[in-house]
Amino acid sequence: MRTPLLLLFLLGAISAMAQEYRISATLRGAGNSRIMLAAFDDLDYHVVDTAWSDAQGKVEFRLDARTPHGMYRLYSRKDMFTDFIFCGEEVELAVDPSAQGEPVKVKRSEENKGWYAYLATEKDVMGRLELITPVVDYYPAGTLKDSALAEFVRQQQRLSAAVLSLCNRKPGGMACHMAAIRKPPALLPSIPPAERLPWMQKHYFDGLNMNDTLVLRSTVYADKVIDYIGLYADRNLTQSQLEDKFTGAIDTLMTYVDPASPVYSYIVQYLVNGFERYKFEKVLAHIAENYMSQFSCEDEDQKKAVEKRLESFRRMAAGKPVPAFSVPDVQGNPISLAQLKAPYHLIVFWSSQCPHCVEMLPELSRLFQGSLRERMDILAVSLDTDRKAWLDVLSGGDYPWVHASELKGWQSKIANDFHIYATPTLILTDRQGTILAKPITLPELRTELRQKGIIE
C-alpha cells in the first residue's frame, strides 16, 4: 500500500510545482522593448525575469506556485514602472502612462482590482481634503463652513469605508492588509490648525498593526515610515536640530513595533539606509545604541551587517581620530597625516564623475584664500579610477592644495577605512587628526570654521 500512496504524494507535489500563473501586461509606449519583472525583497526591487514586448507593448511572464507572494514591478525604464500584487492568481494589466485618471487598468486579478480601486479612492479623498481644509480652517462660521466640516468628516469616512470594503471582499488578502496600514489617520475637524501636526506626530500609528508580516514583501512599511519621518522635517532647523527631532520620531515609531517581529529588523535597516544617505550620524548613533541589541535571533546576520555599518560611523564620529593613512599624490609620493602641518586639516573625498564635486571645487578655492591657507591644509582625495579624468578636472581650475588618489575608485583603501559612501564628503580635523566636524555642504563648513574661530 505504501507505493501507491507515495506515488500519489509525489504526483501531487510535482503538479503543485508545475502550476503556473500568467502575468501579462500591455504597456503603451513600450513596444519592442526589453521588460523587466522585479520582486520586492530586502528593502528593494530585484529583477527576477526579463522578456521582450511585441510591437503593441504586450509582454507575458510565468510565475510558478513556489513564487513568493508580494509586490512586483514591471518596467522598461527605471523612471517608468507599474507595481502589482502577486498572490497566486493570474494578473493582466493595461498600462497607459498618458491616460487621465486611470493609468493602470486591471483586467484580471481580484487582488489587484481591489488594490487599485483603493488607491484611486485614496487619491480622490486626499485631493478633496486638500481643497476643503482651508475652508474648515479659515472661513467664518456659517452655512459654507458647516458644509465644509461635514464634507471633511465624510471624505475621511469614505476612505475608512474603502478599506473595510476591500477587507470584506477578501479578508486575508494582501491588498486588505496593505490598505489598512497605508491609510492615513483620520483627523477631527475640531483640532485647531496649529495643533494638527503635533496630533499627527503623536497618533500616526494608532490602531495599526505594525507587526504584520504579510506585507513585508511590499513597500507599505517603507512608505509609512518615510511619511511619518517627513512630519518632523523643518527647513528652518539646523541639521543638529533636525537630528534631535528625528531621533524623537524614531523613538515614537519603535514603540509600535515588536522587537521579536521580522518587521522590527526591516524598519531598523530601512532607517539606517535612509539616514546614512543623508549623513545624519547623530541619528545613526541613536539607532545603534537603542535598537540594535533587540534584533531577534533569526535576524542575526542582518544585525551583524547593520552593526558593522553603524560601528564605522561611531569610529568616524566627531571627537574620534581619523584612521592612519598613506595615499599617493599626483607624482606618486605617499601622503600621510604627519605631512599636513597646519593647525587644522580639511580632508575632501570627491570624484571627477560627481557633478556636485566638480562644481564645489571652485567654491572651495574661493574659500581657501588669505589667512585660511596658513591655518588649514586641504587634502583632496579623488575616488577616480581614470587618472586622465582626475587630472583634467584639476587642470581646469586653481586648486592650491594637496591632491591624492589611489585610482581604485570605491575600492580604495582610504575610502574603506574612512567609511566613505558618498561624494563629496568633508572631514574637518585638528593637527592631531581628531575629527572636529563633518559638514555636508560648504555653507556648513563656513559655519563650522567661524564657530571654531578658524575664520572670522
Question: pLDDT (tens digit, 9 = 90+) per residue, 230-243?
Answer: 999 998 988 889 99
Residue 159 has pLDDT above 80, yes or no: yes
Residue 18: its pLDDT value, please? 62
CATH superfamily, domain at 326-451: Glutaredoxin (3.40.30.10)
Give domain limits for the chain. 19-107, 109-190, 198-315, 326-451
Residue 155: its pLDDT value, please? 96
Residue 306: its pLDDT value, please? 67
Q: What span, in angstroms and rounded, lies between the C-alpha atoms of 81 and 419? A: 33
Maximum CA pair distance of the chain?
Answer: 96
Residue carrying C-alpha cell 489598512: 180
19-107 maps to which CATH number? Answer: 2.60.40.1120
* Within this chain, domains 19-107 and 326-451 share the same CATH topology: no
Beta strand spans in 53-205 (E): 58-64, 70-77, 80-86, 91-95, 104-108
Residues 427 and 322: beta-carbon distance below 8 Å: yes
Residue 254 has pLDDT above 50, yes or no: yes
Choose the weakest-confidence range: 101-105, 127-131, 413-417: 101-105
The rounded percent of the chain whose pLDDT value lies above 70 is 92
Burial (CB < 10 A; 0-12, 13-18, 19+), residue 206, is exposed
Residue 292: its pLDDT value, please? 75
439: confidence class by pLDDT, cuts 50, 70, 90? confident
Q: At residue 319, what are phi and psi to the nearest 5 degrees?
A: 95, -15
Mean pLDDT of 143-152: 94
The rounded percent of the chain whose pLDDT value lies above 90 is 73
Question: pLDDT (tens digit, 9 = 90+) per residue, 274-299?
Answer: 888 777 878 888 888 888 776 655 55
Residue 435: its pLDDT value, please? 95
In the predicted model, what is the mean pLDDT of the chain?
90
Question: pLDDT (tens digit, 9 = 90+) per residue, 11-59?
Answer: 554 554 568 999 999 999 999 999 999 999 988 999 999 999 999 999 9
201: confidence class by pLDDT, cuts 50, 70, 90? very high
Residue 98: its pLDDT value, please? 85
Burial (CB < 10 A; 0-12, 13-18, 19+), residue 46, is exposed
Residue 369: its pLDDT value, please? 85
Residue carrying C-alpha cell 543623508: 278
